[in-house]
Amino acid sequence: MAQISDNAYLCVQDTKADRPGSRIGILTVDTEKGGYDYLPLEPDWEGELPHDLESAFALRDRPGELLLCESGAYENWTTHEYHIGRIFHIRLTAAAESWDFELLGTIPIPEHLHEIEGMFLLPVFNPEDIQFDRDLFGDVDVARDALVQEAMAAAGLEEAGADEAALDWGAPGVRQPQPSDLPGRDLAYLILCTRGGDEAYEPASFHENVIDLKNHELRELRNGQGIDISVPPQSDPFQRGCSDVYLDRVGILWIVSCSDLGDNGPFNSRIYRYGQYDIERGYGMSRSIYDNTSWFISGLKVEALCGSVMEGSTLCYATDDEGFGGIWRSLGAATSLR
């Protein structure tokens, strides 16, 4: 779920590839009288229909543009064809009674990733500004080298793949890349979040990448290895440590975890603050662990998290309660976090 206007969200559905029908829709909230309406969309996907869409992210510096992510590689159960998972880069524009859809491109997901439930992007202003916590993001130097190569190639200073000495932006005689040299908004850090819980006590994990929104390419960091997510302890060993994530406007990262014992439940969900990124100056992160849990929601399987359009509310969520359908609700103000 991703906010697309003052009172509307784009929602994704986990319909499988061999099933016809809508994959996305617009949920419009009546912020005065309460309630909401849902408008399913069936655009032209220009190929195989999306399979098991699980997450959406609105690109904040590109109005109307969003990323939609499948859960990973899959087999079409009807044709038995194997497919690499995809990220769809789309643009939505409000029309008279609906929304116009444009597919800008697709980006292959690394084949080894499965059960991707959430994603978020972090901006890159220029290489010197990258200040990731090495404990959480280890390939800082590799990422910087890649970004500097992009910058120098874009500026016509060096060919991409130049030797290591040419990548030292502090070396005498080497012009330092400027923000205007970079592909800028075309490059970002993309964090894909897998859910965990397929095996007993299997943790959810973050997988870091650099994404190129112009050429629709993705470059893995940390050799494709994930970082386990610390989540609040729960009695269910098959807890899904991540069923969605939401990076809010001030850089706070919220995570929802859930338990699903079957299509008829029982379900339980927790929404908590994982940490905060300094999205204006760098990306160091001060992590919040399980003692900072903000909400426990019994009886519902929360699979979507976003900022709320309702006055006095911080977050909203949507559920996929399997045989019981799903709901959208707005949460009250977050509890005070230590």
Q: Which two tokens stand for residue 89?
A: 């880069």
**323 in any annotated domain:** no
Q: What is the pTM of this model?
A: 0.81
**Within a domain: residue 91?**
yes
* Calpha distance 88→269 (Å, rounded): 28
Longest dimension (CA), the chain: 67
Total number of domains constituting the chain: 1
In a domain, 62, yes or no: yes
> Which DSSP state fits 152?
H
Whether residue 57 is contained in a domain is answered as yes
Across-strand partners of 106? Answer: 88
Instruction: Give per-residue pLDDT as tens, 13-67.
Output: 999 988 999 999 999 999 999 899 999 999 999 988 999 999 999 998 899 999 9
Report how far residue 209's alpha carbon sits from residue 211's, in angstroms, rounded to the nearest whole number: 6
What is the C-alpha to C-alpha distance for residues 153 and 157, in angstroms, rounded to an integer?
A: 6
Residue recorded with tokens 């978020």:
120
Mean pLDDT of 173-188: 50
pLDDT above 80 (res 80): yes
Cβ neighbours of 5 (radius 10 Å) = 15
Residue 94 in any domain: the answer is yes
Q: Is the peptide bond before 266 cis (omega within 30 degrees of 0)?
A: yes
CB atoms within 10 A of CB 3: 18
Residue 129 has pLDDT above 90, yes or no: no
Domain for residue 249, yes or no?
A: no
The residue to which tokens 């994990």 are assigned: 205
Residue 69 domain-assigned (yes or no):
yes
The answer to whether residues 119 and 107 touch, using CB atoms and an 8 Å cutoff, is no
88-101: pLDDT as tens digits: 999 999 998 889 99
Domain that holds residue 101: 1-109
327 belongs to a structural domain: no
pLDDT at 282 over 60: no
